[in-house]
Chain A
Amino acid sequence: MKQWTALLLLAVITALLTGCGRKTGPNGEVIVYNWGEYIDPDVLVMFEEETGISVIYDEFETNEIMYPKIENGASLYDVVCPSDYMIEKMIQNELLAEINFDHIPNIKNIDSQYLIQSREFDPDNKYSVPFCFGTVGILYNKTMVDSPIDSWDILWDERYKDNILMQDSVRDAFMVALKRLGYSMNSTDETQLQQAKESLIVQKALTQAYVVDQVRDKMIGNEAAIGVIYSGEAIYTKSENNDLEYVIPKEGTNIWIDSWVIPKNAPNKENAEKFINFLCRADIALKNFEYITYSTPNAAARALITDDEIRSNPVAFPDFTQYDNLETYRYLGEDATYQYNALWKEVKSY
């Protein structure tokens, strides 16, 4: 009996110790909070070897899940990778620390057009360093449509009834409807939103389904002709099914940017800056681009891509100067968020 209690005690003690006593590198640690599957695991190992800073890595699945964790301070993180509108919300609520760019000389590798685009949510480029970006567009099957597509109107085309896949998310759905009507996708104007809602209800009868990431598999499997999709998935789907084509509609669309930021309560701010600087290095950014396959804003990394078809692919690397109607999601405040959700509920339950 004594042996049993002793064993049990030992188990409890080891458990508690492994929980509290983290192994720390000679130069401290950095606690990273990133999207799932959003970094090449080798990069973390390389960073640890080169800098002697150990990486504690954690992942989140949506911006909305990440936000309260940072806000309530249950766990402290040094460097986080939220999306555009969420960064704006975090800036407004004073959760972020200004980044000291003297510690991030590799920022020169980031193409300036992405920093300019970032000003929509981070007006002075003080808080964020772009990591991945992409657009939202239409993926269509060349063999299943009559003519090349260049407009959101196709999603309202009766000929493709039950062959259309729509994104199952408030902002993306309203973005499509608002852009098609020629409005800003960050509109909070009641009449504009009502119009968008009405048109989404009309469209609902034509759609096969509202989907999230199933759009990828469904399009590859020829289960639908047209789908709204993120550009990051477009290149992958094309490699699986050569009939698929991605297009940015002429009415304009959303360009999203996921950027690194440092929370105000970060315990290791300097290590966080070293980490961001490391990720901005051309070879590292290239490794991450190859692993994640989402577009990188790192111009130096892009220059290193050997496959010419990818390097000059307008899907992966669109030239922003060709469009004057690309927008980034803004944080609209609680009232407008409520308004969007209420209208979306009406669409979904119609």
Chain B
Amino acid sequence: MKHTIQKIYIGLILILLYAPIATLIVLSFNASKTRAKWGGFTLKWYGELFQNEAIMGALTHTLLIAFLSAVIASVIGTAACLGILHMRKRTRTIFLGITNIPMLNADIVTGISLMLLYLAFGASFGFSTVLMAHITFNIPYVILSVMPKLSQMNYSTYEAGLDLGGSPAYVFFVIVFPEIFPGILSGFLMAFTMSLDDFIITHFTKGPGIDTLSTKIYTELKKGIKPEIYSLSTLLFLSVLILLLIINLKPDKRKEMTAQ
């Protein structure tokens, strides 16, 4: 009895989580433009999606900004971690606190303050302003995931490397980097996803002629969202799903190999 209730409960939660996405996927194959009518199965929205220059442009911008901002934030964030690690305890707490603020801060505050800053410097709004904004809010996420890895590491290994005659940079890349790499990778992925679905900060820092997916979809509000967007969302969902499967299947294989 208890078992069935458990099953029903978990089933209910899964349905609530995934029913909206399932609806979206089903609608992306609907030949009729309105959600109220099923016009038969079709793949035409997928075809039109790839011919729609505006949506494809927004997709390119989104991916480019997400990738670049995540890479740059990973570099800056990791460097910041190295610095913070060697601070005295009090300054370290202060700096970690400071880096946490932008994460907890409301997006709208970050967005508006960045816009005002750019205005004060007379910057022309466009790709670079959005990119800089995304790097800014991505750095704390990288620090958050790299910091624990770095403090777990045995500092003596780094010193031993120096004693054996390696230059600091060489020792960092040969000894420290592989050790903290999982942290950097998860920081990178987190930064990438944060950048991917950001709307508010992008909205305030973008200029004419540049749109990311989130701002592009939002502009369709007046006339209703087009079915192409459903198919795009389906594709994005599937790519994330496949990525997750790959990531989650990999460690098992490694374990098997070591077991052998």
Set of chain A residues within 8 Å of B1, measured between Cβ atoms: none
Using CB atoms, name the residue of chain B closest to A78: B208
Contact string against B for A residues 215-248, beta-carbon threshold 8 Å, 1 for contact and 0 otherwise: 0111011110000000000000000100000000
Which of A16, A38, A57, A58 has the most C-beta atoms of chain B within 10 angstroms of its own C-beta? A58
CB within 8 A of B125: which of A18, A33, A59, A74? Answer: A74
Which bucket holds chain A's interface residue count?
A: 35 or more
Q: Quick one: which of A266-306 are within 8 Å of B by CB?
A: 292
Complex A-B, nearest 8 residue pairs according to Cβ-Cβ distance, in ascending order:
A221-B36, A36-B219, A19-B128, A19-B127, A58-B208, A59-B219, A56-B209, A220-B36
For A18, the chain B residues whose CB sits under 8 A away are 127
* Interface-lining segment among A7-15, A106-114, A173-181, A184-192: A7-15
User: A57 to B209, Cβ gap below 8 A?
Assistant: yes
A6 within 8 A of B: no
Is B25 part of the contact surface with A, judged by Cβ < 8 Å? no
What is the CA–CA distance of A307 and B222 in the complex, to the nearest angstrom?
A: 26
A37 near B32 with CB under 8 A, answer no
In chain B, positions 132-181 with a C-beta closer than 8 Å to chain A are 169, 173
A12–B211 alpha-carbon span in the complex (Å): 19
In contact, B208 and A77 (Cβ under 8 angstroms): yes
Within 8 A of A (CB), among B201-257: 207-209, 211, 216, 218-224, 226
Q: Confirm or deny: A60 has a beta carbon within 8 angstroms of a beta carbon on chain B.
A: yes
Does A334 make an interface contact (CB < 8 A)?
A: no
The answer, yes or no, to whether B42 is at the interface (CB within 8 Å) is: no
B37 within 8 A of A: yes
Least distance between A15 CB and chain B CB atoms (Å): 5
Binary per-residue interface labels of chain A (36-59) against chain B in the complex, 1 for a CB within 8 Å, 0 otherwise: 111001000000000000001111
Query: Given A20-B124, A36-B223, A11 and B68 touching (CB < 8 A)?
Result: yes
A sample of 12 inter-chain contacts (CB < 8 A) reads A8-B72, A33-B208, A36-B219, A59-B211, A60-B219, A61-B219, A61-B222, A75-B207, A213-B222, A216-B34, A223-B36, A240-B34
B81 sits at the interface (CB 8 A)? no
B36: nearest residue on chain A (CB-CB)? A221
In the assembled complex, the CB of A167 is this many whole angstroms from the nearest CB of chain B, namely: 14
Is residue B15 within 8 Å, beta carbon to beta carbon, of the partner chain? no
A57 touches B208 (CB 8 A): yes
A78 to chain B, nearest CB (A): 9
Smallest CB–CB gap between A49 and chain B, Å? 15
C-alpha gap A221/B32 in the complex (Å) = 12
- Residue B78 is within 8 A (CB to CB) of chain A in the complex: no
Contact A74 B119 (CB under 8 A): yes
| A159 interface contact, C-beta 8 A | no
Flag if B36 contacts A213 (CB, 8 Å).
no
Instruction: Kindly identify which residue among B33, B128, B208 contacts A56, using a CB–CB cutoff of 8 Å.
Output: B208
Q: Are A36's CB and B71's CB within 8 A?
A: no
Select from chain B the residue with minimum beta-carbon distance to A33.
B208
Q: Does A93 contact B (CB under 8 A)?
A: no
B115 at the interface (CB under 8 A from A): yes
Closest Cβ neighbor of B169 among chain A residues: A1
- A8 touching B71, Cβ below 8 Å: yes
Say yes or no: B220 contacts A41, CB within 8 Å. no
A61 touches B208 (CB 8 A): no
Question: Do the beta carbons of B226 and A37 come within 8 Å of each other?
Answer: yes
Of B71, B127, B222, which one neighbours A35 at CB under 8 angstroms?
B222
Residue in chain A with minimal CB distance to B220: A36
**In the bound complex, what is the Cα–Cα distance between A12 and B72 (angstroms)?**
8
Nearest A-chain residue to B65, judged by Cβ? A15
Q: From B75, which residue of chain A is reached at the shortest CB distance?
A: A8
Do A72 and B119 touch (CB < 8 A)? Answer: yes
B37/A220 in contact, CB under 8 A: yes
B209:A38 contact, CB within 8 angstroms: no
- Contact at A75–B208, with CB atoms within 8 Å? yes
A31 within 8 A of B: yes
Q: Is B131 an interface residue (CB 8 A)?
A: yes
A74 near B115 with CB under 8 A, answer yes
Distance A4 CA – B131 CA, assembled complex (angstroms): 20
**Which residues of A (103-149) have their CB < 8 Å from a CB of B?**
none
For A11, what are the chain B residues with a Cβ–Cβ distance below 8 Å? 68, 71
Shortest Cβ distance from A143 into chain B, in angstroms?
15
A136 to chain B, nearest CB (A): 14
Q: Write the chain B residue with the least CB distance to A14.
A: B68
Closest residue of chain B to A56 (Cβ to Cβ) is B209
B36, B53, B218, B220: the one within 8 Å of A217 (CB): B36
Contact residues in B for A72 (Cβ distance below 8 Å): 119
Expressed in whole angstroms, the minimum distance between the Cβ of B184 and any Cβ of chain A is 13
Bound state CA distance, A41 and B169, in angstroms?
52
| B51 vs chain A, min Cβ distance (A) | 10
Q: A31-B209, A58-B208 are in contact. Are A36 and B36 (CB under 8 A)?
A: no
Contacts of A58 in B (CB 8 A): 207-209, 211
Select from chain B the residue with minimum beta-carbon distance to A294.
B223
Asked if A36 meets B221 with Cβ closer than 8 Å, knowing A12-B72, A19-B131, A240-B32, the reply is yes
B127 and A217 within 8 A (CB): no
Residues in B with CB closer than 8 Å to A8 are 71-72, 75
Q: Does B46 contact A (CB under 8 A)?
A: no
Known contacts being A33-B208, A58-B208, is A217 close to B34, with CB within 8 Å? yes
CB of B79 within 8 Å of the partner chain: no
Instruction: Chain B residues near A56: list those with CB within 8 A.
Output: 208-209
